[in-house]
A and B are shown apart, each in its own frame.
Chain A
Amino acid sequence: MFSKVNKLSRIFNPRNIAVIGATDRPNSVGLGILNNLNANLGNRKVFYVNPFQKQVLGQDCFSKITVIKEEVDLAIIAIPADKVLGAVRECIKKKVSGIIVISSNFGEAGEEGKVLEKQIQKALQNSEVSLIGPNCLGIINTANNLNASFAPLMPKRGNVALLSQSGAMIDSILDRATGENFGFSKIISYGNELNLGLNDFLEFLRNDKETNIIAVYLEAIKDGSRFLKIAKTLSKIKPIIVIKAGRGEAGQKAALTHTGSLSTDYQIYKAVFKQAGVIQVDSIDELLDTVKVLSFCPRCQNGLGILTNGGGLGVLAVDFCEEFGIKMPALTRTTIQTLKQESVLRGCNLTKNPLDILGDALSSRYEAALQSLLIQPDIYGALVLQGVQIVTEPMQNARAIVRVSRHFPNKPVVCCFAGGKLTKEAIEFLEENKIPNYTDPKRAVLAFRNLIIK
């Protein structure tokens, strides 16, 4: 027996790569993969395999992978589905570590494709070769600049691993995240899970030093019991965020029991995520909001101190705290005394959480108040709200918040600078300094909720 997970580390760090179906045909997936691979070669060699062309992009082609003399760690297959089985057999002969099958028209297309998948599975059975896909976008490892995919862009390096059943979802998320201050460690498009599947990748990411957060788009899970087991322990060390698509409730009506008719697949998935400690989100926006806060901030216990320069924003935030079960500890006598000693806070009501430092608050008030709030032991994190009033200094406030939060490395500070043009620059400064900002109190409160360790 060999460990699939060990194989994955070779697949993500290949010395040599062969592209089966290498082509320079404009607008082809094959060319896209070559361009992505060639953009950052490092010490890797890429061999082109194409029996119909002598040269591609000025480099000699091999007629098949077995002709290559040097060892090949990773083979990428991008040829029509009916030719894939033959290519996989050649790869097994060549003793590659891993194969990525980009090609589609397999199980997702119908019966014929399912037969092909079974044949490939059989071919792999007695080999030590692992396979990603088919019907996938490929993989990216930012740590070594490996882009073995046809994604339209290379993401920034960071601590988020993104796994997706759908390749298009990855493209959209990467594009959306381009301007953000968080980045990605691994991108894994796992397609039809013919051989390696979600569970194997989760196991692999458990020990991946580059990855601290795992984001997953999925439609269905293969081997649900194993998923629950893996996710339960993994989510405690690396938060897992899931978008689950497909809420269909069909096929449940004929059930004999109440339980049968009420327990739709979606209900069961929701229960599984809850039990596994997985954060479930509904949209790409929510996914990115969650990834951002987890990427920037430490996790903490339930207890939020709120600071605002406007009553309205504070009340909205409190509403959502109540709705989402977030505790807002009362200010202790010590905290109140500390606040009262600050001359800049004179005239404010310094007894309540949320702490309203009034509409004419300058950055000195923000700084003094935030400092005092975060000293209180049962306040585990802070939400700083800012409406842009005529005297407000967004940039100075941002600087003050960054300064204070540096003294409390274990207490997350989430900001809600609610605004647009007037706050843009300040928000950029906050986020460059890993203080997440949300322009709406609801999103900010939700973000804080996802930091709380249950």
Chain B
Amino acid sequence: MPILEFEKTKTLLKKYNIPFCETEIFNSSVKALNFAKQIGFPVVLKIHSSKIFHKSEVKGVKLGINNEQEFVKAWNELAKIKDIEGILVQKTAEGVEMVIGMKKDDQFGPVLMFGLGGIFVEVLKDVAFRVGPLNTSEALAMIKEIKGFKLLQGYRNQKGVNINQLAKTIVQVSHLAEKEKNILAIDFNPVIGNPKSVLVVDFRIVV
């Protein structure tokens, strides 16, 4: 099962109005640094490789890079990792980590998944499923179904997530899944949300 290429994925997300974190892929540190300055620090660097599925396991992610010196140091460390095809420069997104996924089921067609990111999805499996295509109210019901919904509304000092924007994103993913017949599975993990925006930060689309 091949993974859809980086640029094609971005084109597809734009086509379906699925907002994603500003990201570019580079092979040269000079161009990469220019891009970082353009989008503004702090930025994130991540390795790009079709062979490595779990970037963090090979220490392929550097968060919170605040200036040029930190950037160069991080770049040099990442460049040493085997099998990489480039390095991603990404604007830092702040907020609640979530997951939006899709799998094409033989019987029911596109099945959408939504949950909170990190341990919520991996350990607690606090996720909700729906068969697509979804409308906004179905997406909202899906969001409200998870046990961690309170965290999306804001909890203690942590800010919440723009729920309407989130529902819209889920609806758009369901449309993408419905219309793009060659797409078998989608993992948007994490999707980061705050009161202003909901952005896809990491994506993997299986074709």
Contact = CB atoms under 8 A, between A and B. Distances in A.
Contacts of B102: 259
Interface string B161-189: 00000000000000000000000011101
A268 B111 contact: yes
Given A224-B105, A228-B108, A262 B121 contact: yes
Given A258-B189, A268-B131, A263 B113 contact: yes
Contacts of A262: 101, 113, 121, 125, 127
Contacts of B10: none
A220 B101 CA distance: 24
Contacts of B53: 256
B57 to A, nearest CB: 15
A271 interface: yes
Nearest to A267: B129
Interface in A245-304: 255-260, 262-263, 267-268, 270-272, 274-275
A220 B131 CA distance: 16
A265 to B, nearest CB: 8
Contacts of A426: none
A268 B138 CA distance: 15
Contacts of A260: 101, 103, 185
Contact of A270 (B99, B107, B129): B129
A223 B206 contact: no
Interface in B98-122: 99, 101-103, 105, 107-109, 111, 113, 121-122
B108 to A, nearest CB: 4
Contacts of A223: 107
Contacts of A267: 129
A326 B187 CA distance: 36
Interface residues of A, number: 22
A259 B125 CA distance: 11
- Give the residue among A256, A257, A274 with the most B Cβ atoms within 10 A: A257
Task: Identify whether the interface residues of B are mostly helix, strand, loop, or mixed.
Answer: strand
Contacts of B105: 224, 263, 268
A126 interface: no
A272 B127 CA distance: 15
A259 B107 CA distance: 16
B204 interface: yes
Contacts of A270: 129
A123 interface: no
A259 B187 contact: yes
Interface in A107-155: none
Nearest to B134: A275
B62 interface: no
Contact of B103 (A222, A228, A259): A259
20 contacts: A224-B107, A225-B131, A228-B108, A256-B53, A257-B204, A258-B121, A258-B187, A258-B189, A259-B101, A262-B127, A263-B101, A263-B103, A263-B111, A263-B129, A268-B105, A268-B107, A268-B131, A271-B128, A272-B131, A275-B130
Interface of A: 220-225, 228, 255-260, 262-263, 267-268, 270-272, 274-275
Interface of B: 1, 53, 99, 101-103, 105, 107-109, 111, 113, 121-122, 125, 127-131, 138, 185-187, 189, 204, 206
